[in-house]
Structure 1
Amino acid sequence: MSAPHAPVPASPVPIPGPVQRERVRRVPVGEAGAGPYSLALGADGAVWCTLVHAGRIGRLGGGGREFTSYALDDPGCRPSVLTSGPDGALWFTRGGDHRVGRVDTGGRSRSYALPTPGCGPYGIAPGPDGALWFTELNGDRIGRVTTDGEVTEFPLPVEGGFPSGIVAGPDEALWFTLNQADAVGRIGLDGTVRLYALPTPGAAPVGITLGADGALWCVEIGAGRVARITTDGEVREFPLPDSGARPHAIALGPDGRCWFTEWASGGFGAIDTEGRVERFGPLAGAGSEPHGLCFAPVEDARETVHAGARPGLYVALEAGEIAVVTGEIAVVEEGPPGTGPSFGRDRRA
């Protein structure tokens, strides 16, 4: 492993436009275009990120003030989504060389080959069994890797579905999105798969998270909607005020709402369990491309994100920065709860 880049103070960058007065700072993370893509809170209290275009893993510590990055063994490995593992390390997918990687909080990394050539690993999440589960965009499979590096793959009952985001549910199973099949899937620890169709054609779901209400929530980048799926397979969709916002990632916030990024608008939003939406931003200028997000401590514990939402919100801007939202932010737009019907269609393997 190459030596890490020396820690450097993360200098704030002024926010243009209507949020200039708000408590938001943008932290440059490496060279322009390095591509911070996914974020996760590490066991060391720092925010870790993938630098997808630079073949590096980054660490933003000091309450969002000090950035360090670590080179991986292949500059073209395209580290994509990462998550905090049960062993205190960060685990991540490598879409460029079709491997799963592990990095400890000291920056030491290794990776594991996957059985299916060209499978395109993407989403990754810890499972209730102490292993890491991941999606394979091109392999039509869900994978499982133990903390010792033992890999198992489970085929899906659909071809070309493009399995994307994945998260552990409340029911001893993993739930995942199928971007090209307009569906959400459930896989049990024994590999049993069930699929649930989303009602909107071209929904193209990507990110998925477990909500405070025990349901699964996913964002539909193709339809500009957020969907809620119960563990019984009942689906309800909530349209966003801007149907072209292209929501990408979603995470549960400490205020009980699900927070999401909007790739097209450059902003982000939050939705409560009743479907009420608030939208904020933009965080930066055109082309900032917000992707992953997470909540983590900020330098001043008295700082807040929004009423009741602590600690700070961190957003990866693929253009080359991490936005740290440390203060209350103005609402750009509000939307009423979705009024669409519920659906409960499923396809079983």
Structure 2
Amino acid sequence: MRQGIRRGGCPLPPWGLCLLVALGAVSAPAATLTTELSASQDSRLLTLLGDAELRENETFLTFGYSGLRPQSGTATTHQLSVGLDQALNEHWLLSGSVQVGLPNTTRTLLAQERPRLELPALSAHTSSSSQGLVLSAGYDSGGLSEVEYGFDVGLGLTRYPLKRALVTHTADTEPTIIFRQQERLGVLRPSLGARLTLGGDWELGLRGGLYLYSEDPLSAGQFTEEEQQTLTERYTRVAEDRGLQSAFLKRLYQQLGTTVATRLTDVNATSGLPSAPAQFDVKPSVTYRFSAKVRGQLSYLFTRYVPGQGHGHVLGTRWTVRLGEPLRMWAAVAVQADVPEATSPVYTGLATLGAEYTF
């Protein structure tokens, strides 16, 4: 019944590796380390997770690191987590964790310098960080009958300081800040999961989550009317620059989707990479155990993005192989289709490789 955090690139910073090595070395009867590497054409994600037994079959320390670069040219988002799992008995498990997203900054060119028009170059500097708390409770029937079941409920609360600035600069002068603004966005995410095991070989699963924002997450990342007026008066006469600004907003929404969705440690091939902040998501899955060493899973994820951003579909499959008692490995591939309200669907292929080792 006891399950540690399981999920799955960008380079892992040395301090992240040192942290995991140190935590993994905690003196305990048992420990598990999990790593996943996921990638699409533009994105890279590395996740390192684990748990260490503090009290035999009762209390477990959980820890993790996730690093995500959602798109080429964007800053990598680093997230650390630490928590505790407490087994109340052979059926119930309570979990809690604290998650911290380290500050990051992305600089995006919005308009080229136009010396003949006496217009400097214009860039947008956007940055974010996060502080969150995730609580969950899970139940497993834990028997040996032909039909077994389990369910879990969770609640995540995350605070996101979002900063942005418009900066002008030329080849001969220092950068000048035109606007600077900071906003705080809160996200509450209740979730529910259920699974049904039939005959020991088949497992049916269903998961879903709802995202409740303190304000419109798109408004929190957009230009104010004053900023838009400045852009219109000084820069949008140039078609190339209008394209740069459009690409900036698309990139900004994707960054919000992957970080503000509060599910960074859940991002992998079968869970997809959100292209905008989500309103809710639902994921059914079916798993079949071919033998004691091989199992395969087919899953589908539907995500409704916030109003105006359309919806997304992810169809994926994951195959797991156990190589001896302490080691298991898996691979997953998926196709994601994002369907914006005003444009044609965008298709993305994703792949994940993962491994878990139990000491």
TM-score normalised according to structure 2 size: 0.29
Report the structure number with the largest CA radius of gyration.
Answer: 2
Greater strand share, 1 or 2? 2
Name which structure has the greater RCO, CA cutoff 8 Å, separation 6+.
1
Greater helix share, 1 or 2? 2
TM-score normalised according to structure 1 size: 0.30
